[in-house]
Amino acid sequence: MRKRLSENVGFFLFVLCWIAYFSSYIGRLNYSSVMSSIIEEGILGFSQAGSISMVYFFSYGIGQFFNGILGDRVKPQIMIFLGLFFSGLANFMMGTIQVFPVMMIMWGINGYTQAMIWPPIIRIFAEKYSDVEKKKCSVDIVSSMAVGTLASYLLSAYAMKFFSWEAAFFLAAGILIFVAFFWMMGYKYVDARMEKKRDLVILQQKDCKENDKNKGCFGKILLSSGLIGILLPVMIHGVLKDGMTQWVPTFIYERFEVTASFSVVVTMVLPLINLAGAYIARFVDRKHPQKEILSSVIFFVISSGALILLLFIGKWNVFITVGLFAIVTVSMMAVNTLYVNLIPLHFEKEGKVATISGFLNSVAYLGSALSTFSIGVLVEYFGWDVTICVWIGVTVIALCCVVWKKDKEFK
């Protein structure tokens, strides 16, 4: 027997999770938004700016793995509160200290603490909602990423236009710390409502002892499930979804000689369009349930085509360029939804939803970490055209891996 939330309380809890994850994006993308201004002021060079992004993604990726394991053992409300609160403090320090090594350390701390938010959220969805509802929540939560990205770009552009790039970090810090305490109060309300029988729906399931027997070692699950076969595509999708996106404002700023704030504002269209990727993925999943790997093939094909066009016509017009970037990021958002949001739900009976989600996210952000640094080096020494060619190359590699794996779906 398992307790599930009633419709009203379930909706409130989802909104609470949505706000928590939304705020985390405000405190993670503000750095990429103001990166061009920091470079322009001479505080950081291209490779140094890329190094800070790389440290963030490494810390976030490592944190996703370890916090994913903790996420199946520690109360989710505690982990999410700590992640939001300390991310807020790290953002505050980023706006205060303008020394490269200290900025790198602070942004690394921010990455690790933000990694405490996602795995417990996926665990909440798996444990508190029905099979249909948990898939719906796992896709609908993607809207918080899109709106959070938009809010981060908007706040950063506002800060740079009327104050300074430092103000972008101070604004994020205030929002994160406020949401941390709001989260705790809201979750206490959910706990109080759960104690009342009228706010619970009891669903028949296998005996708990039988479920305990199904819980296995993470290593054995990794080998037997076939997850190893998609690790390289997961990593490469992280290169395109986050690593490449970090440099879009700088790409537009340099390629079209616009102001830094304008490049951020133009890039703000991406998160709204990216949201379509999650719902396209859900549509495909409904048509081909439990075929996440097969479904991802088409999205890697589309990304490859868009990047090839970017290489040849990306200099023509800023809006054409943004449109091509949008095609790539929409496709990678679809892949992210299939891989990181939906695949982990297969592992609820093993009690490894947060672990698998955290692990796949960590692999994706390892790709993001490597790419944010390498993109800075490539641009500094070889230019943007060579960098785009590298993006095309890794996308084709991912496509080849997925085509090989597509006939071997999860057991």
Q: Write out pLDDT tens, residues 14-23.
A: 888 899 999 8
**Cα dihedral sign, 212-218-219-223:** positive
169 pLDDT more than 90: no
Give pLDDT, residue 395. 87
Give pLDDT, residue 383. 83
Of 183, 147, 122, 116, nearest to 29 by C-alpha is 147
Per cent of the chain over pLDDT 70 is 81
Overall average pLDDT of the 151-175 stretch: 81
- Which tops the pLDDT comparison, 79 or 354? 79
- Range from 99-103, 171-175, 211-215, 268-272 that averages highest in pLDDT: 171-175
Give pLDDT, residue 195. 62
Helices (H), ranges, 269-317: 269-287, 292-313
pLDDT tens readout for residues 135-162: 777 778 878 887 887 788 778 777 777 7
User: Which residues on neighbouring strands pair with residue 4, listed in sequence order?
Assistant: 201
- Which tops the pLDDT comparison, 398 or 287? 398
Q: Supply the pTM of this predicted model.
A: 0.71
Single-letter amino acid, residue 91: N
207 pLDDT more than 50: no
pLDDT tens readout for residues 358-402: 788 778 877 877 777 788 788 778 888 888 888 899 888 888 877
Residue in the structure block whose two tokens are 């200099």: 315
Give pLDDT, residue 225. 62
343 pLDDT more than 50: yes
> What whole-number distance in Å separates Cα of residue 324 and Cα of residue 302?
10
Give pLDDT, residue 19. 92
User: Which residues on neighbouring strands pair with residue 5, listed in sequence order?
Assistant: 200
Give pLDDT, residue 351. 66
* 132, 347, 180, 184: CA torsion to nearest 10: 70
7 pLDDT more than 70: no
DSSP string of 136-147, one letter each residue = HHHHHTHHHHHH
The answer to whether the CB of 221 falls within 8 A of the CB of 348 is: no
Task: Return the SS3 of 34.
Answer: helix
Task: Return the SS3 of 259.
Answer: coil
Give me the chain's average pLDDT, please.
77
202 pLDDT more than 50: no
Tell me how crowded residue 220 is: count the other CB atoms within 10 A of its CB. 10
